[in-house]
Amino acid sequence: MTTTDEIIISPVSGARQLALFIRMPRLLYTGLPGFVPQLEMEARAMLSPAQSPFFQHGKAQYFIAWRNGEPIGRIAAQIDFLALAQPGPSIGFFGALDTTTPECVEPLMEAAETWLRQFDIDVIRGPWTLNSNGESGVMVEGQLEPPMVGTAWHPEMLDQAVQKAGFTKAMDLFSYSMPLSPAAEQANRIPQGLRERLGDITVRGLRQDKLVEDAAILQDLYNDAWAGTWGNVPMTTEETNFLLKTLKPVLKPEQYVLIELNKEPVAIALVVPNVYDVSGDLNGAPSAAGWAKLAFRIATHDFSSARVILLGVKKKLSGTALGAIVPALLIDELIQRGRVLPYRTIELGWVLETNDGIRNLIERIVPTPYKTHRMYEKWLKTA
């Protein structure tokens, strides 16, 4: 346990403190302009060692900052053994960073650093909750935009507080809100007859009767597409199955977009409906009546927006004309699906600021991002 002035940082232990850690964003941010609480059952599935598949290949320690007996901030420190197996410096993570008290950020970061040092870590990077396949970044722009599933919300002060604690910007992640409209379709127009000239191209959705097989295709394509990309940690079979199991109540075949070339899977996108559309007024912890209301809204698929959570094009197409065209085909298919699904907008999110190819493609339709999340890092060892 460490103390800085009146601020005490303590590790989380036991079920009661874990429950407090999970609900802290709602305790800290309720009433701030733009904040809408996440359903706590979703946060629990992401953070609980008993539920999250992350803990099959990683370890974490959670910390809470206290002042005068009141919780004022939180942070997680994580080790992902899949990330440590990758070449390059050994990287440990921090995540789940939330507070409205700038002066508690530095001691929270110090607690995370101290915990990570026992694993001989070179660099601490984050926030990821709990790795790159979960929530990413501190929100630095877009606090007043509508909330979106799977993305963290933070007050504007947090960016400066993290940098003041000795961390530097490592990467910005951009999110774009794409309208499903004739104008968007026109901006992403595929030249007439191009599909036919590319070869035997087919596009299909999810096969409900072959969910395990389609989950494996999703995992293989995603991991192949993003291998070697900044910060990426491969998805495990357990994580993929957990994701589809979690999404099963809201998953429709049209939300899974698979492009095959000559019967070989070459590109994929997975779209999930924005749960905030149906839960935003339920305050994160619904009453019995609230749960009944939520169940009805989900059953009727009462969503108006959605988010692309996975998108990838097979690595062997990189640098080829086909590799440049296939992402446009994916986006075109997403727009076409908008005629079947009730969504008016789809978020294309967490695009690396350095990914000029995807940014140029998206920005033909949506010129500027509407949200920015920032990643930070700090070297714990000097060369």
pLDDT, averaged in runs of 10, over the chain (383 residues)? 73 96 96 95 93 95 96 98 93 97 97 96 96 93 96 97 97 96 85 72 88 90 91 92 86 90 91 93 90 90 92 87 84 83 92 92 94 97 67
Segments of 54-137 assigned E as strands: 58-67, 70-80, 91-99, 123-126, 128-129, 135-136
- Reduce the DSSP state of residue 347 to 3 states and report it: strand
Q: Which pLDDT score is estimated for 4? A: 47
Cα separation of 260 and 367, whole Å? 29
Helix (H) / strand (E) containing 163: helix 157-164
Domains and CATH numbers, the chain: 2-174+374-379 (3.40.630.30), 178-371 (3.40.630.30)
> What Cα–Cα distance (Å) separates residue 65 from each residue in 24, 46, 103?
11, 21, 10
Q: Which pLDDT score is estimated for 383? A: 54
Q: Is 373 left (phi over 0), alpha (psi -120 to 50) or beta?
A: beta
Biggest distance spanned by C-alpha atoms of the chain: 69
φ, ψ for residue 287, nearest 5 deg: -75, 180
Tokens coding 164: 């003041």
Q: Which pLDDT score is estimated for 5? A: 66
Cα separation of 147 and 274, whole Å? 8
Helix (H) / strand (E) containing 140: strand 138-141
User: Using an 8 Å Cβ cutoff, are 95 and 127 in contact?
Assistant: yes
